[in-house]
């Protein structure tokens, strides 16, 4: 999965966002 590098950090591919916040912000839907 490609993620916005600017939001990523060394600890999480979601950066400072939680996964849910990340998906909401980027309009990603997942089942």
What secondary structure, in 3-state letters, does the chain show? CCCCHHHCCCCCCCCCCCHHHHHHHCCCCCC
Tokens of 8: 């990523």
Work out the mean pLDDT of the chain and round it to a whole number: 65
The pLDDT score that the predictor gives to residue 19 is 75
Q: Nearest to residue 15, comparing CAs of 4, 28, 2, 26?
A: 4
Enter the pTM of the model.
Answer: 0.32
Over residues 3-30, mean pLDDT: 66
The pLDDT score that the predictor gives to residue 24 is 81
End-to-end CA distance of the chain: 15
Phi, psi of 25 (to 5 degrees): -65, -35
In this predicted structure, the answer to whether residue 25 has a pLDDT above a threshold of 60 is: yes
Over residues 1-30, mean pLDDT: 65
The pLDDT score that the predictor gives to residue 28 is 65
């Amino acid at each position: 999965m490609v993620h916005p590098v600017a939001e990523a950090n060394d600890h999480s591919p979601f950066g400072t966002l939680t996964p849910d916040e990340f998906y909401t912000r980027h309009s990603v839907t997942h089942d």
